[in-house]
Structure 1
Amino acid sequence: MNDHRKLGRELEIFDTDPLMGAGLPYWLPDGAEIRHALEEYVRELERRAGYRHVYSPVLGKRELYEISGHWSHYNQDMYPPMEVGGEQVLLRPSLCPHHALIYRSRAHSYRELPLRMAELGGMFRLELSGVLGGLNRVRSIQLNDAHIFCTVDQAAEEAHAALALIRKAHKDMGIEGARYRLSLPGPGGKYVDNPEMWQRSTALLREILEASGLEYEACEGEAAFYGPKIDVQVYDSAGREFSLSTVQVDFHQPEQFDLHYIGADGAKHRPVMVHRSVIGSIERVVSHLIEVHGGAFPAWLAPVQVAVLPLTDAEVPHAQAVIERCIALGLRAELHAPERGSLGARIRAARLVPYQAIVGAKEAAGNGLALRLRDGQRLDARPVEQVLAEVCDQIGRRD
């Protein structure tokens, strides 16, 4: 069983320090490389799907979260207000109120819809100390979030497309065994009191799941305070289930922020707000990937993609030239010089690297490269440019 809390530290992906505080891990260089790769991947995935990216502040006035409903329904999970210039300011618990304000800042026509707004942004949750651990439950979260402002008639298609993006991302990351949960409200006062709204949004999500041919389980008490959601569930190494990705339909916040668009009839109409996160929080998805792959990440995610191993000091100049060429091609490469030990020891040390490039006297003299793959397979030496072009192609395909 791979426990990311132990393995992630052994692999030098992340760590913690009491002076930074519980639930506030920091990323080491290899972890930062994984994070960058995920962020670049999901931004490009969203860009190709018609999303536009924004940046918004991690702070907001208390009034903002009173309007959104977070303060009355969710304040126990929020950090306390800070007094700034006679006003109360809070660390945001989610990005959706900020995106609602960005939408509201401009007039919109029905011709612009659906308007897909995405952000990789920070948010903060006041998690209890007892549930914190590693990257899975943290207090500072970097979320892959997006909000689609659309007409009622467009909402089902947009949610369906979001589910397709989630399935593609999971496939590319090597995540299997996901199941779908329709998260519904339960008893108690933590949910917005609007039965008609809940009925509409729940019916819409059921329609989306059934039209997608996805088996799902309805579960009461797991909805967001403003609406039901489709949670994509996965399991950690201990068999515990958690939500990784989500799709939500929200009629509440467009009403709260008085959002509208001008329809074909020239009148104002209320948009629907579809919330969706393809890979969830960076922290949680990396914790899961560590456990799924045991540190042997898919080549496109690996912190080091090519380890270059010269046999002797005489081949180091050629090895360094290979490193420089890898970097110019956008590959993450690292030199494993002879002073690190015997070739066998260096191969074992680089066992999690997808491509090991062995450089001997023959390769140095002929400007060649011989690859050793992570599974132990050895390939014949060929010209450097040809080998690296094939590596780039394989990584680009995310095979």
Structure 2
Amino acid sequence: MVRSRAPPRALTAALTRRPWTCPSCTFFHRRRYSQKPSRHEQKNPPTTQQPTEPPDHRKLGTQQGLFMNSVYSPGSPIFLPRGARVFNRLVDFLRKQYVRYGFEEVITPTIYKKSLWAKSGHLENYKDDMYSVTGYAKSGDPPASAGSCGDEGDKHSAAAPEVQEDGEEGEYGLKPMNCPGHCIIFASQHHSYRDLPVRYADFSPLHRNEISGALSGLTRVRRFHQDDGHIFCRPIQVEDEIKKTLDFVKVVYTALRLGVSYRLALSTRPKDHFIGTEEEWDRAEDALRRALESSGMAWSVNEGDGAFYGPKIDIILTDSDGKEHQTATVQLDFQLPKRFELEYQAPAPEHEARGETTEDPELLASYGPVRPAMIHRAVLGSVERLMAILIESYNGKWPFWLSPRQAIVLTVNTSEPVVRWAEEVRNVLTGNDSSAYEELQTGSLPSAENPLRPTGLAVDVDSSARSLGSKIREAKTNGYSQILVVGEQDVENKQVSLGKQRMSPAETRDKMLNMVHTFQ
């Protein structure tokens, strides 16, 4: 068996490297600034207690101010500023990997006409999980029908208006997935076999009509974001693309410190509600089996659990409570390319369609249309669901690069020079150079001396009139990854203290950015 490639050495080394901060910074700062533990602390030293119950992302999410829910939109989490930081970092991380794996990002509509969902097969096989969207009736328009795409009256309604592809229509559907939109993009252009594979990625929000009793925090929602991607490739390229996708999953989950704790499951043809022939399904399932065998990882079979358009490989993680969640997925589809009449031009088209090669010059001289294979893939899966798993996996203690509270600058006192220097330290760490913005406001571009270069680091300042020990305890309770201190001596030396280290703000910034870039 050929094993999938291991994660890059630099990534593995970064994940195993010891943190560069001192875990005993509380003791150090007390000793430096002559702050002894109180009598109560001496008589009652802190003890480490084992948690009595597994971490719950709903409780931790509330405690850390990550997300909330509203009765006005059940199942649609509202990310608060700190939760949005984590969400955006996960998405940005995936975007950066697209360079390696050859994906190009697109932005597609949230709603499409029902005629599109009929063409893709969703209206027939998936409508109970969809939402319909109707506009308010305009003057002179016939009344629009109410309800969802799952209403029985929409099944084969003789009263339903005939809809032209280029005409108006009263009812639309909120998209539960991006695949039909990506098929539209592929069909809009002419393709040669030399152009393939074509890989599209999409972070558009999706909506699925989950029953209210199934809704739970971030794990089961109605509105979510998926790192959705679709690969249009030649039949001969299918297995290689699936292997690359499994490698993509392995690299990303290693960076997230999830390792290979996930399991792989092959989901096969459903008994009902599937499109295509059994022969086409058998061919697709065989291709996925070969890719799984080549991956070198253990896998199992979920009989009849495939999507209605094709079999799939699901990546399944277990949360802190022992419950399994499907996150990443790889699905092979020969049906949507057929329904959307997708094609590319290739020599020896009959051999090409079977995934075969030929050296016959006469056959190679003949060009013709060939249907591409379509691979649906998501690495994070639902970003919301993966965030829930990460919150519980980290138990609220985030790695620095993902942390919603990366650093805080604490002042020893409230004197004006110390407070002003603390603000200056934060500006350096965040890349907030006021001179660069002043140059922009005057109509000129920032100079080399004052570049407009925000770092993306999340840094707060606590200059309240409290003891340093009290500020440190609160910062730790709030989950700050790095706690920096500035006092009179730091103002004089233009430095900042972090544990036992004293560095310039620029050196501190560079160290923090290195932690971000190496996923510490």
User: TM-score scaled to structure 2, two decimals?
Assistant: 0.73
Deviation at 1:313, TM superposition (A): 1.3
1:25–1:134 contact (8 Å) kept in structure 2: yes
Of stretches 270-279 and 352-361 in structure 1, the one that deviates more from structure 2 is 352-361
Question: Is residue 357 from structure 1 mapped to residue 409 from structure 2 by the alignment?
Answer: no
Matched letter for residue 184 of structure 1: T
Question: Is residue 142 from structure 1 mapped to residue 225 from structure 2 by the alignment?
Answer: yes
CA distance in 2, matches of 1:9, 1:301: 17
1:335 aligns to what? 461
CA distance in 2, matches of 1:248, 1:44: 23
Q: 1:330 to 1:81 in 2, by over 3 A?
A: closer
Question: Is residue 122 from structure 1 mapped to residue 202 from structure 2 by the alignment?
Answer: no
Query: Where in structure 2 are the equivalents of 1:93-108 lying within 5 Å?
Result: 93-108=176-191
> Structure 1 regions of 5+ residues with no counterpart?
372-377
Of residues 369, 385, 391, the one that matches 2:506 is 385
CA distance in 2, matches of 1:266, 1:144: 36
> Structure 2 regions of 5+ residues with no counterpart?
1-53, 136-143, 145-167, 348-365, 432-454
CA distance in 2, matches of 1:342, 1:193: 70
Of residues 289, 295, 303, the one that matches 2:390 is 289
Q: SS in structure 2 opposite 1:239?
A: coil
CA distance in 2, matches of 1:200, 1:348: 61
Deviation at 1:88, TM superposition (A): 2.1
Of residues 25, 35, 38, the one that matches 2:87 is 35
Query: Where in structure 2 are the equivalents of 1:171-250 lying within 5 Å?
Result: 171-176=254-259, 177-187=261-271, 189-250=272-333
Matched letter for residue 183 of structure 1: S
Q: SS in structure 1 opposite 2:380?
A: coil
Of residues 132, 149, 152, the one that matches 2:215 is 132
Deviation at 1:96, TM superposition (A): 0.3
Deviation at 1:384, TM superposition (A): 2.1
1:51 aligns to what? 103
CA distance in 2, matches of 1:61, 1:383: 58
Describe the superposition over 1:286-328 as per-residue Cα deviations: whole angstroms up to 9, x where unpaired. Answer: 1111111112111111112111111111211111001111111
Deviation at 1:272, TM superposition (A): 0.5
Describe the superposition over 1:112-157 as per-residue Cα deviations: whole angstroms up to 9, x where unpaired. Answer: 1111110111111000001101111111111110001000111111
Q: 1:392 to 1:86 in 2, by over 3 A?
A: closer
Question: Is residue 325 from structure 1 mapped to residue 433 from structure 2 by the alignment?
Answer: no
1:374 aligns to what? none
Following superposition, which runs of at least 4 residues in structure 1 exceed 4 angstroms of deviation?
A: none
1:62–1:81 contact (8 Å) kept in structure 2: no
Q: 1:390 to 1:233 in 2, by over 3 A?
A: same
Query: Where in structure 2 are the equivalents of 1:249-268 lying within 5 Å?
Result: 249-264=332-347, 265-268=366-369
Task: Give the number of aligned pairs.
Answer: 390
2:400 aligns to what? 299
- Identical-residue share of aligned pairs (%): 34
CA distance in 2, matches of 1:184, 1:350: 50
Of stretches 119-128 and 388-397 in structure 1, the one that deviates more from structure 2 is 388-397
Q: SS in structure 2 opposite 1:67?
A: helix
Q: CA RMSD for the aligned pairs?
A: 1.4
Matched letter for residue 157 of structure 1: D
User: TM-score scaled to structure 1, two decimals?
Assistant: 0.94
